[in-house]
Chains A and B, each alone.
Chain A
């Protein structure tokens, strides 16, 4: 059995072919279900995307479609869906291709930067490639897979020291989904002298004041390139979109996320407090806890985690950042779990969750149980009309939050204690780059 699986995973073409066929089958099944059942396989969001693409094909704004909250880039990307017929599936196929690219990049990173043998790298890349949840989400037409592809491509580009490309991907990622801005912190910090090499060799310019000297050191060429490239990409994309689609672009793509109420029940620990304070604002306390939610969230995901872990293992740091960002977010739905799942192939191989299988199983079971408890309460509310807001959903969200914090604690400790191995791994790389 195990030799069978090893022979499967040691043949990448076989794994990729399986991953592709799996998605093709799902796409075909989805088309059949949509045509024959009133219950649709296709995600509602996909209808929003394709409607927006149709508006674009009529030379109108994608924001003419209600609830289109994305960059117009996405609607443009899905332009062929407006041709109708089989082309309707184009976007889903594109998202599925995004999955495969993500898996391929993960495989490359594991091979080239973690020095894994083929079968082992393929096994971990398959956490994404052969994951039914991932394949299902993409083929139903959710764009999360595309964001994952951008983020893993970003990781790959950074590790390859293709800094301009990485900056462009970072700018694109933030333009598309905002949250990847957290990676700016870890990548910036990672691009320190120990990674890109010391600048000592160039010698000291005597005319320069010490403070300028220090800041030039801090903002080394790699970091400057990253800032410039990501800034230019982000602003250029926004500039073009603003010019073409005006203020609705800013309103729906960015401002919406800061003004939305997010009162509907979701996994977030803040949800009940937020719901109470929004619905009964007269009785709400002067300082509303959810309005300060960004403080622990950003302290962890853009300050503490990247500063203390990025130089030890960039990929795992990005996992910890994303996990912290999602766990401490004001709103949290299951699609957000994909944001950190894409980094699992890089973290898991040396993690204590795999090295101590009992710990790993407990963590997995707790994570599943935390969600199941919440989902059960949510089901009773949404479909049975039972008032489970208090205390069921609230306690379930607190329980899930604490489980996630516990897991995050393990991840953070793992990355922290792994530093020597990684430092050894990175050292030869940095020479090559300079």
Chain B
């Protein structure tokens, strides 16, 4: 088992090596509370519970990405983002094999996941870039708010193997901004990485870097971002310590090309999301950038994009988003990709698939002066969506009988996608993050400049809540819909039939006469 822990301290303050204390199997960083941290654990299959190993038997690749609904400040090099919730990207070992990882997902994350089988519940993202080897065959998403069941699973089934306060490691995941789990059949290893933002008050969010078992390796970096020489690159400086081998922290300075970048300081854009009110059955999702001025492309070749993962209750109509005039009126350029459930007619209760993923190119605000400057007005783009008819959550104790249901729709991820120069080897980046759903929809030489979401005052999570009108079965029963509909039909039917029956009574003899009158051909 290998551990790599990376502390990222704020740029420009310098790192005092005295703050790093090492022992034979632990390391203490005095300024840990001010640092963002990524922890990465790689375990061989033999080190994992048998049930996991069995479940991974027919899996070629499995990438699980969970993102917290709590907003966070990303720290370079951990700048990539995803819509909050549980994302799964999966490739079976054999294309036609009937592999089902739904039971595994139910066991690890929640029995409530809408997941029956790969073919029914997963979607197949398009392969837009053949050369890009990172695209998985199947995709799944669920707006899972917490990973409590996963933490419990780790504590019960994995922690038994290790000495020390392993359960506290599992507990600290409650504070993580995102968790990545990766497996591929070639490396035969499972990697789990988690990221915590800087400055979390709770002590439970922090654990002491330590070897969990004799023979494990533990490498700890205490780093900060330095000014890079090339725009495609990131440069990190600080101290690296291989715990148990090094006597103390050794200074380091290294740079690498990076796929994901923060926005340049000159254009500190943010975005927020909300549904136009009243939303009705065709909610329009507004993405608002508070200042056009700050919405300048980081490079020349950049295009602004939004990546949405929509639960099945909400969908995008690809035909609606094919008319250039309509797209322009919503400040959209084009719908690059839409995969997953696209039935425009079915109600949610017959849909088995998780929902759909959309990549949309957004219009950049126009330049208002000759030198390409932009004004300080806010810039809004609108993504038209449509609701399916939903069931009422009648089993929910909180639901009143007002005939409404609530839906939590995750905020999209918004970024600039820019063309990078040829020959960049992004994979040499020790912090590279791939299999995010949208990265596979671009070529391998693409750089992403992520625009951080900014929650409006009073909103706690990166979720938009939609109030959806539903037909409440309790109201239906209270009004006696079935019986009174029947009464109305019988009444109406009788009203129309009555004159006909009267006529038949009179016309019966006539008909008889007619028949008698006709003999043969």
Contact = CB atoms under 8 A, between A and B. Distances in A.
A433 interface: no
Given A276-B476, A384-B280, A389 B482 contact: no
Nearest to B348: A279
Q: Which of B345, B350, B495: most chain A Cβ within 10 A?
A: B345
A308 B500 contact: yes
Contacts, number: 196
A390 B475 contact: yes
A152 interface: no
Given A308-B503, A387-B402, A289 B521 contact: no
Contacts of A383: 278, 280-282
Interface string A399-412: 00110111011001
Interface string B275-292: 000111110000000000
Contacts of A47: 319
A402 B488 contact: yes
Contact of B479 (A67, A299, A328, A394): A394
A398 B514 contact: no
B507 interface: yes
A38 interface: yes
Contacts of A283: 473, 477
Interface residues of B, number: 62
Contacts of B162: none
Contacts of B467: 385
B189 to A, nearest CB: 42
A260 B492 CA distance: 25
Interface stretch (B88-96, B128-136, B324-332, B412-420): B324-332
A199 B193 CA distance: 91
Interface in A356-415: 381-391, 394, 398, 401-402, 404-406, 408-409, 412-413
Nearest to B344: A67
Contacts of B346: 261
Contacts of A412: 496, 499-500
A216 B471 contact: no
Given A193-B517, A216-B521, A38 B328 contact: yes
Nearest to B322: A47
Contacts of A278: 347, 349
Given A383-B280, A394-B479, A405-B492, A272 B471 contact: yes
Interface in B461-496: 467-473, 475-477, 479, 481-482, 484-486, 488-489, 491-493, 495-496
Interface residues of A, number: 76
B498 interface: yes
Interface string B52-89: 00000000000000000000000000000000000000
Q: Which of A289, A305, A384, A385: most chain B Cβ within 10 A?
A: A385
Interface of A: 35-38, 40, 44, 47, 51, 66-67, 192-194, 198-200, 202-205, 208, 213, 216-217, 220-221, 260-261, 263-264, 269-270, 272-273, 275-276, 278-280, 283, 285, 289, 293, 296, 299-300, 304-305, 308-309, 324, 327-328, 381-391, 394, 398, 401-402, 404-406, 408-409, 412-413, 416
28 contacts: A47-B319, A67-B344, A193-B517, A193-B518, A198-B518, A199-B519, A204-B520, A213-B520, A217-B520, A260-B345, A264-B345, A269-B488, A272-B481, A273-B482, A276-B476, A279-B471, A283-B477, A293-B489, A304-B500, A305-B500, A308-B507, A384-B278, A386-B469, A387-B471, A401-B488, A405-B496, A412-B499, A412-B500
